[in-house]
Amino acid sequence: MALDAETRAEFLATIRRFVRERCVPAEKQVSETDAIPPAIVAEMKRLGLFGISIPTEYGGVGLGMEDEALTCFELGWTSPAFRSVAGTNIGIGSQGLVMDGTEAQKRAWLPRIASGEIVTSFALTEPEAGSDAASLRTRARREGDHYVLDGTKRFITNSPQAGLFTVMARSDPANKGAGGITAFLVETGTKGLSIGKPNKKMGQQGAHTADVVFEDCRVPAANVLGGVEGKGFYTAMKVLDRGRLHISAICIGLAERLLHEAASYAAGRKQFGQPIAGFQLIQAMLADCRTEILAARSMVLETARRRDRGEDVATDAACCKYFASEMVGRVADRAVQIHGGAGYMADYAVERFYRDARLFRIYEGTSQIQQIVIARGVLKELGA
């Protein structure tokens, strides 16, 4: 559903105010304590941020992809950890249910996900199955009206906080490919499910990942996502297609913030008797940032609008993720360069964002996976 122009403007202004007045001043604290202040999380729930992508009939805000992208441009202006708190509820944690869940599953879970009462996680990656997601080894063995899950999932975002996992597991051992994989809804507290210690990461402090381990974990057959075996990989791919647009939009918000930091610094910092913003080599870097941000922004909005019209945008979502995540890396690099020695110091936001931005080229599909998806799309269009 697209918001009308007035509601959209009001909603975006509210998110902008929240990000700039509440999140930005807390960035340093979040980085140092590796935690988002509970009052900020509570405010995010009150603003509906956990449920922006969930249909209104299940208690969400029901934004279309274009409106979600515009919201992400605002959210991206601050440390990515703030986005991450609600990110799995908005994206990979909830969208399998939204797209392929049964009516009963949607009614049971989506309202609590939308309100932020429970956090959801998406458990696909494994120690031996990252980019090659279809090679996953977690097994699901049918026993009467249950399945028994065994295996380990790795780097699972928000798993230490999660109340519900969408777990991709191989239910048909004879089928080593995509068709042998089923998605399960597994509640925290289920016997045989345990969460490892949170990983120590390069950046994005305040956002947490950990291993999720299944040992003889009995899950009711009613928790097969969509009620049908063998559909889990396809659900995961559709969820990732959508997630790639969401992440692209976050990259753009962060790139805009980085450019703001770099331009402000350049305007104030004097060398050779004048602000460095007066030097053309600095100006070239600012110009390159602005141009690339505009390109990424245009790509994402156009692709989001096409998705809202019901078009298949899998290839173009990969183009967006590829370009926007690489773009924010270049922008972060230039922002540090413009800051000179100060940019290497933890006192400046760009030092932190430089590390934070590195993840965008990796999660929800590396740049190399996006290239593969794009190239396959091009060849498919050709009928090759």
Among residues 176, 130, 132, 119, the alpha carbon closest in space to that of 154 is found at: 130
Element at 123 (helix H, strand E):
strand 120-123
Closest distance of CB 273 from ligand COS, Å: 50
Q: Are 183 and 226 in contact (CB under 8 A)?
A: yes
Cβ-based nearer residue to ligand COS, 121 or 205: 121
Q: Are 325 and 248 in contact (CB under 8 A)?
A: yes
Cα separation, 204 vs 3, in Å, equals 31
Q: State yes or no: is 364 an active-site residue.
A: yes
Give CA separation, 47 vs 54, 94, 354, in Å: 14, 18, 28
Please state, in angstroms and as integers, the Cα–Cα distance from residue 330 to each residue in 184, 247, 255, 296, 323, following that order: 38, 16, 9, 13, 11
157 vs 259, beta carbon nearer ligand COS: 157
Which residue among 24, 108, 134, 221 contacts ligand COS (CB under 6 A)? 134
Contact pattern from residue 166 through residue 205 relative to ligand COS, giving x for each residue in contact according to CB under 6 A and a dash for the rest: ------------xx--------------------------
Q: Which span (163-171, 195-203, 229-237, 298-306) binds ligand COS, by CB under 6 A?
A: 229-237
Site residue total, ligand COS (CB under 6 A): 23
Q: Of 26 and 373, which has the nearer Cβ to ligand COS?
A: 373
Instruction: Tell which positions 345-384 bind ligand COS, by CB under 6 A.
Output: 363-365, 369, 372-373
Please identify which of the residues 66, 229, 261, 364 carries the catalytic annotation: 364
Torsional sign, CA 282, 350, 289, 11: negative
Q: Which of residues 238-277 bind ligand COS (CB under 6 A)?
A: 238, 240-241
CB of 239 to ligand COS, least distance (A): 9
Token output for 119: 């956090």
Binder among 3, 40, 90, 124 for ligand COS (CB under 6 A):
124
270 forms beta bridges with 275
Q: Which residues bind ligand COS (CB under 6 A)?
A: 92, 122, 124-125, 131-134, 178-179, 233-234, 237-238, 240-241, 314, 363-365, 369, 372-373
